[in-house]
Structure 1
Amino acid sequence: MTFLPRALARPGRRIAGVATAVSLAAAGGVAVSAPSFAGTTTAASATTSPHQVVSHTVRTSTSRSLPSGAKVRLVAAGWKKSYVTSTSWSVGAVLSAHGVHRDSNDLVYIGPATWADRREGAVAQITVKRVTATKKTTRKLVHYKTVTRHDAHRYASLGKVLQRSGRNGVRTTVQSVTLVDGKVSKRRTVSVRSTARDRVVVVGTRKTPRKATVAYSRAVGREMVRRKGWSTHQYTCLVSLWNRESGWRVSAHNASSGAWGIPQALPGNKMSTKGTDWKTNPKTQISWGLGYIKGRYGSPCGALAHSHRSGWY
């Protein structure tokens, strides 16, 4: 995992030294770069004391040596290192010699010595950041949510219908966590899984017709059959039965017998037990008709079977 900490130099402060062509290197896969010593003349750069200040913090992939005899401060959290003197070693060799063992994730930075370090004769700081990457898994009990879906084919007057029941479950979250010197520097969510299942409720948006149509009456019949706990097969039997009796017309009237409406109640005013609007309201007629079928035949399919045998129900 890659992490780039803030620069070790004080912000806004330019620190000058004497130029040298020496670069700093990396061993064991840890990339570092040369401290830049800035000076006034080319001749001076060849004879400069190594005890100068690095101009800025750098981390690159070059592979050069430390200046011979340079005193640097080694900062490695968890390793508790301090001032060391290089003897023409690479940075990686210096770290290994002082027991600072790294893996491919760890970072090495070269930066300017602090004022206190310079009083000790240190020219720069070598800072090692221990970077570890791990995965953290958390599990949490979650309750199901209710989702409302709109159906343009369902009549709004029929109310809500439960399409699917909900189920509580467990949400499992896996995160990739990067630690720098033991502190969390970055979190990234890798995956989120949940065994909970949403409760789904369907609401119709179709407008109810001013006058009852056959399509609307059948939709009302389907909903009432479902609420009684009957199957789709029972609704199919009901459609066949009332297609034969009335064609699902609320105004269907048998002049010879006096039967009325969708269920062909005889006489029609029997349906007034379900509402005074029994002549025009399909809900009132169907409610009465289903009650009659259940009480006499047990189910729509039972009523249809009797109708097939005798021609009436």
Structure 2
Amino acid sequence: MTMRNQPTARQARLGSELRKLRQSAGKPAKEVAGLLGSSSTHMSQIEAGSSAISEERLRRLAAHCACTNEELIEALVAMATEHAHGWWDEYRGVLPQVNLDVAEAEHHAQFLREVVITHVPGLLQTPDYARAVFGYMRPELPESELAPRVEHRMKRHTVIEGDNPAPYETIVHEFALRIRVADRQASLSQLRRILDEIEQGHVTVRVIPTELDGFGGADASLMYMDGPLPQLDTGLLDAPTGIMFIDAEAELKRLRTLFRKVETASLDPTASRDFIHRLTKEL
């Protein structure tokens, strides 16, 4: 089996879930490798996402580990047998791998929840807004790198648009809505885009007003993506070292709790829509 030099986050997640399956059954890697007619080294590569696993081998592994969760098994098989390329693959070698991983994770999500404090959420950004944000990066990006970043961000919108959009709920701070990353017209267009998305019915926006008491989570930026079953949910944290993918249940539980806590410090969807509408009048 061909080795992957740089497994995607989704491939690494599949390997992680297979490792959890084996460890929860108390099976040593050497024993499972022998069952699959492989080596301990190859088993480690599979669990790291750097080597693929066939459907037949995956089902054998699940049976040997006495896994009776058919829904989980089928979801893992689907992950293992995916061969179609997504739109994000055209940016391979053009953008950092993490950009592609985020787009792929969003594509497979059943429901998306996000908390953003300092910027308008990427899934709602206009081209002018995104260009201004990326244009502020240091060292400054040349147009050859800036343009594909903006284009990639716009294509990410497909997950909440089109014929089968994923439900999306975001909590955004007033600060992010007010700050002018470009000029007045760009800010006005950005607010109008958010209102347009709200009107579509599958996007829910909650605003945290500056004057509202009870919000101490200025570092609470996160995204939570529901998988086909809770065990396959995924969290994203924008850490100082870069974007971190979260799949440990204890950490996912912490993110769910954090989202609910931030939600209590925000306006309801109707009041939030009215709040954003008032901001457009101020511009």
> Same fold by TM-score, threshold 0.5 exceeded?
no
- Whose radius of gyration is greater, 1 or 2? 1
Which has the larger strand fraction? 1
TM-score by length of 2: 0.23
Q: Does 1 or 2 have the higher relative contact order (CA < 8 Å, sep 6+)? A: 2
- When normalised by structure 1's length, the TM-score is 0.21
Higher helix share: 2
